[in-house]
Amino acid sequence: MKPQCNEHLRKALQIAEQLLKLADKGDDDREDVNCGVLYGAIRDSAYKIRTLATEELKAHRKKEILQNTTRVQTS
């Protein structure tokens, strides 16, 4: 597995956290309902990105463990 792959996923997690903070601040400062819709969409997207990136990192870790286990057994 390419090491930069997991780095990209970690960066996606950081961006998701930034989006969540933006949505919270935007909601606090909004002047009308339409802004609320926008910040809700940003928040929903951030949660989706966070979920997908987290699941992908878990899958990568599992794959690495399986590959390492296979290498040990064949040695």
> What is the tens place of the pLDDT at every residue in 8-20?
999 999 999 999 9
pLDDT at position 72:
64
Residue 41 lies in a domain: yes
What is the span of the domain harbouring residue 32? 24-75
Residue 19 lies in a domain: no
Residues 6+ apart with CB under 8 A from 50: 13, 16, 17, 20
Residue 65 lies in a domain: yes
Residue 33 lies in a domain: yes
Number of domains in the chain: 1
Kindly tell me if the per-residue pLDDT of 75 is higher than 60.
Answer: no
pLDDT at position 33:
93
**pTM of this structure:** 0.83
> What value does the mean pLDDT take over residues 43-57?
98
Length of the chain: 75
Q: Give me the sign of the Cα torsion angle 5, 10, 15, 19.
A: positive
